[in-house]
Amino acid sequence: MKMIAPSVLSADFSKLGEEIKKVEKGGADIIHLDIMDGRYVPNITFGIPVVESIRPITELPFDAHLMIVEPEKYVEDFIKAGVNMISFHMDATIHSHRLVEKIKNLGAKAGVVLNPATPVNTLEEIIHYIDYVLIMSVNPGFGGQKFIPQTLQKVKKLKILMEETGRTDILIEIDGGIKEENIREVSAAGVNIFVAGSSVFKAENPAEAVKKLKEKVRF
């Protein structure tokens, strides 16, 4: 399964609804929402009221990538606001297992995020409980950064861990620096969900940009 998840981080926030409609037309599968608190990462984006206000715009699933400390305090509100998938950074919370269970019990898909320097083996125990893994291919905090090539090895390591633990059903999401030039190679490594911010929303025609990314990963 291959899915494109445009990140609205690089969209024009003065017309967020229209921006979402554009990528929906281009065939986006998921809308990726980057939630930053200025503490876990050195940047601040938006929160629950914004998610609520864009929820009626589209029926596409909302994927909240929480780059916040103590994510356990906010997951319920995000899910109530209409988020369907939630990922958090394991080092942002003390009780990862409890949080995964909480997210799932509230009816959303639960994912954990690995920063570029976080090894795959930190997933060894939590892998039995999660629905997806988000691998950061840049350092979290900003759009428009360069893809870190070592990430491809990491995806391969994750595939091995999935085989070893019998969790080949887990989806692999990648986030950072994804564009037309590299998406096919990243896809070949085994990634399922491709987050793309600047390569979609900074393009002249975001709908067309999504369409092109989709075509590249079709086979």
> Residues with catalytic annotation?
34, 175
Chain positions 167 to 196 lying near Zn ion, rule: CB under 5 A, are 175
Assess 118 for contact with ligand DX5 (CB under 6 A): no
- The verdict on 87 binding ligand DX5 (CB under 6 A) reads no
CB of 4 to ligand DX5, least distance (A): 11
Distance separating alpha carbons of residues 204 and 177, to the nearest angstrom: 18
Burial class (CB in 10 A: 0-12, 13-18, 19+), 117: exposed
Residue 46's binding partner among Zn ion, ligand DX5, none (Cβ under 5 to 8 angstroms by kind) is: none
93 scored as a contact of ligand DX5 (CB under 6 A): no
The site partner of 176 among ligand DX5, Zn ion, none (C-beta below 5 to 8 Å per kind) is: ligand DX5
Contact at 8 Å (CB) between 4 and 213?
A: yes
Give me the amino acid identity at 199. S
Q: Which one-letter amino acid corresponds to residue 118?
A: T
Measured CA to CA, the distance from residue 78 to residue 47 in angstroms comes to 8
Closer residue to ligand DX5 in complex, CB, 27/167: 27
Q: Are 139 and 3 in contact (CB under 8 A)?
A: no
> CB of 167 within 8 A of CB of 127?
yes
65, 89, 179, 214: residue in contact with Zn ion (rule CB under 5 A): 65
Residue list, annotated binding site for a divalent metal cation: 32, 34, 65, 175
Give yes or no for residue 212 binding ligand DX5 (CB under 6 A).
no
Subset of 153-182 contacting ligand DX5 (CB under 6 A): 175-178
Q: Which is nearer to ligand DX5, 34 or 131 (CB)?
A: 34
Applying CB under 6 A, among 81, 195, 209, 210 the residue interacting with ligand DX5 is: 195
CA 119 – CA 108 distance, rounded (Å): 25
Query: In terms of CB distance, is 110 or 166 closer to ligand DX5?
Result: 110
Residues that bind Zn ion (CB under 5 A): 34, 65, 175
